[in-house]
């Protein structure tokens, strides 16, 4: 699904499906998404009878970084209901979250990130200031077990 081109895509065109099972479209649009990534660790090992005086690198565990999603407060309680499921110990609360980057004219999806077995680990609202004119923001931080890209 990724599309190669000469000029990078603009980064303000994200749609996020929070894995609710709703097929009417994405659950939310987010202004900023940071921290999508993964790392494969290696273990260094050397047999005692090796002729070479160097280590072998053996592939280890896959680690995924936490993702932070930021958006303006829009009154949707869908993320908060999911957070309630998680903190109440619901074993079915893990979801597959799909983040899509759209083209500038919003006619095509150009890159997709899938966060497999994701859960909300942090919610932050604010800062809230009645004297300011800033948009009220909220942040969700998701931990996930595997990253897939299309």
Q: Per residue in 9-48, pLDDT tens?
A: 666 677 888 887 665 666 677 788 899 999 999 999 998 8
What total of structural domains would you count in the chain?
1
Residue 93 in any domain: the answer is yes
Which domain does 122 fall in, by range? Answer: 14-38+64-149
Closest alpha carbon to 5 in 145, 89, 104, 100: 104
Question: For residue 46, is it within any domain?
Answer: no
Asked if residue 135 is part of any domain, the answer here is yes
Coil, helix or strand for 53? coil
CA distance 86 to 144: 13
* 8-state DSSP, 145: S
CA distance 41 to 31: 31
Flag whether 7 is in a domain.
no
* 43 falls within a domain: no
pTM score, two decimals? 0.81
pLDDT in tens, 100-149: 888 888 788 888 999 999 999 998 887 777 887 777 778 889 999 999 99
């Amino acid at each position: 699904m990724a599309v190669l081109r000469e000029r990078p895509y603009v980064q303000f065109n994200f749609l996020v499906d929070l894995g609710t099972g709703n097929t009417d479209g994405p659950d939310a649009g987010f202004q900023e998404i940071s921290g999508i990534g993964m790392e494969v660790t290696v273990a260094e090992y050397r047999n005692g009878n090796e002729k070479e005086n160097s280590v072998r690198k053996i592939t280890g565990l896959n680690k995924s970084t936490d993702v932070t999603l930021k958006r303006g407060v829009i009154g949707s309680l869908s993320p908060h209901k999911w957070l309630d499921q998680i903190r109440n110990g619901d074993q079915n609360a893990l979801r597959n979250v799909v983040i899509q980057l759209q083209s500038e004219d919003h006619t095509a999806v150009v890159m997709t990130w899938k966060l497999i077995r994701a859960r909300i680990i942090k919610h932050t609202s604010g800062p809230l200031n009645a004297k300011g004119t800033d948009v009220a923001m909220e942040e969700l931080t998701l931990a996930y077990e595997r990253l897939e890209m299309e």
